[in-house]
Amino acid sequence: MTAIDENMVSGFHAIEAVLAKDPNAIRRILVVGERRDSRMHNLVQRAREQGVRVETADRRAVTRLAGDQAHQGVVAECHSVAPSTELDFEALWPTYNQPLLLVVDGVTDPRNLGACLRSAGAADVDAVLIPKRSNAPLSNVVRKTASGALEDLLIVQVSNLARRLDWLREQGVWIVGTDVESTHPYTDIDYRDSVAIVVGGEQRGLRRLTREKCDHLVTIPTPGRVSSLNVSVATGVILFECLRQRGT
């Protein structure tokens, strides 16, 4: 894909989500001229009402801009996603009450990262922490996969993840990491207090230093032939166990 493709969100559902959450994130929307059904009409009308520029293009141009994403005849060119800073996060910290945090360490596939963020948005986590390096960038592939969660979540870019985990522990947050080699099922942990769930990359899992900063390492038992879950699936399983225990 070209550099501009990374700024493109494709398809009705993803574009409607951005329009609903943050229309200012969209530079322009391009639509295939020959598609004139009611869904396209409603999307174009809504975009123009919110001050978003809409242009007509031929199907080949829209397909080129969409890259490998299915576009349904419509693409949106968006501004780059800008995460919050650690200073922003620290300023907000006094407003939290027993926060639920997600830490994503080394997830390099943008679709996996987007799916993790979608689970975080569904679970209403207070913040997601990601390292500046070793993670997939917050591209619009991530935005599309997250299905609107990117506009709702507080996503904090962290310079030194190990140091930030130390800071969280000083604030009374329990750090719970996922590790397929752990012997402790994820259901054995009490998630009702302030807690940060730490998930690792697709291949190597948690980095050594990150693992050492965890108070608990847990696993999700898999009795079937598949020995482990995709990182985004594991993220959802544990976050919703947190919600179950908290009665929400």
pLDDT, tens digit, for every residue of 94-137? 999 999 999 999 999 999 999 999 999 999 999 999 998 888 88
Find, among 42, 39, 79, 35, the residue nearest to 57 by Cα. Answer: 35
- % of the chain with per-residue pLDDT over 70: 97
pLDDT, tens digit, for every residue of 26-70? 999 999 987 888 999 999 999 999 999 999 998 888 888 887 777
pTM summary value? 0.79
Cβ atoms of 69 and 166 closer than 8 Å: no
Q: Which two tokens stand for residue 149?
A: 């969660």
The per-residue pLDDT for 184 is 95
Q: Which two tokens stand for residue 132?
A: 């500046």
Q: pLDDT tier at 22 (50, 70, 90 boundaries)?
A: confident
Q: pLDDT tier at 4 (50, 70, 90 boundaries)?
A: very low
110-122 and 231-246 helices, crossing angle to 10°: 10
- Residue 99: CB partners within 8 Å, gap ≥ 6? 126, 127, 173, 194, 195
- Chain centroid to CA 151: 10
Find, among 194, 235, 233, the residue nearest to 215 by Cα. Answer: 194
Cβ atoms of 76 and 102 closer than 8 Å: no
Domains of the chain: 4-78 (3.30.1330.30), 86-246 (3.40.1280.10)
The per-residue pLDDT for 248 is 78
